[in-house]
Amino acid sequence: QVQLVESGGGLVQAGGSLRLSCAASGRTFSSYAMGWFRQAPGKERENVAKISRSGGTTYTADSVKGRFTITRDNAKNTLFLQMSSLRPEDTAVYYCAARISAGSASLPSEYNIWGQGTQVTISS
């Protein structure tokens, strides 16, 4: 099965941008639908964006719509999350996740494989 490693997190000021990457190794990356989740201290893990196997269908949560963009490069086995106009409330650990089953899914329990997470901190 695929293994996932996130990178690109860090500390930025409000209004800034970050680009998260999720490198996949192992089984064919294009076999998996992918998602980005985040979890802030004391809060549940939430889906912020997801993308189909081909990359042709994407979804972003209302809380990040217009600010975050999910893309993937199947040739390079990499998932991306471009984040702009960042706010202090975007502070969280961000995880990429893979799902082998067909269909759209937003619940963490519907994803089979997870990365270790990358911390994103937005200062005001």
pLDDT in tens, 21-59: 999 997 789 999 999 999 999 999 999 999 999 999 999
pLDDT at 82: 98
- CA 12/CA 18 separation, integer angstroms: 8
Mean pLDDT over each residue of the chain, to the nearest integer? 95
pLDDT at 1: 81
pLDDT at 81: 98
Q: Nearest to residue 118, comparing CAs of 42, 25, 18, 3?
A: 18
- CA 15/CA 109 separation, integer angstroms: 32
CB contact set of 1 (below 8 Å; sequence gap of 6+) = 26, 27, 112, 113
Q: How confident is residue 101, by pLDDT bands cut at 50, 70 and 90?
A: confident
- CA 3/CA 107 separation, integer angstroms: 20
Dihedral (Cα; 33, 10, 121, 50), 10-degree rounding: -10
Q: How confident is residue 103, by pLDDT bands cut at 50, 70 and 90?
A: confident
Mapped onto helix, strand or coil, the DSSP state of residue 19 is strand
| C-alpha separations of 72 from 61, 78, 110, 113 in Å | 17, 6, 20, 17
- CA 51/CA 35 separation, integer angstroms: 6
Q: Nearest to residue 8, comparing CAs of 78, 111, 73, 107?
A: 78
